[in-house]
Structure 1
Amino acid sequence: MNDKLDLILEGIKELQQITRAIHDRQEETDAKLEALAMEVHKLHGEVASVKEDTKRIHKRLDYQILRIARTEEEIHLLKPEKQ
């Protein structure tokens, strides 16, 4: 009877160790997940900033293209016609 009780107690201790190990691993996993979530949030902000910069650059580029087209038109109109 005593051997059975010792065996059961040993099994309980082993299960407690396994449970603690699982709990510790879960805490590590939670910390890693939180770090990933923060990194994703940071990257989201950076992507939004890049999109705004790109939008602004496209507007400036469109304006410069328009200016070039007008200048080319003026040059064309100022050139004497070849006969």
Structure 2
Amino acid sequence: MALASGASADLSVTTRAGVGDFTFPRDRPAALLFRVSNSLNGSEDAEVTIDPDTRTVSGSVLTGAFCGRRANGGANNKKTY
């Protein structure tokens, strides 16, 4: 997929995971923004690791609130009106 910045992205996803390969033009600055928390269902914990040697980013986030319960089994803190 070509982006307006001139970069390209090759993406592959499943229900719970995704992989992306991004290529940026050499003559322009490159930037990526990783939103690793703030899920619509809330986020308990998030972690991101950036390895400049291998040029990879990995991480995870714990989220939940499915049917009113948090992923860790605790109560959902959302108020009902």
TM-score range, shorter chain: under 0.3
> TM-score, normalised to structure 2's length?
0.19
User: Which structure shows the higher strand fraction?
Assistant: 2
Tell me which structure has the larger Cα radius of gyration. 1
> TM-score, normalised to structure 1's length?
0.18
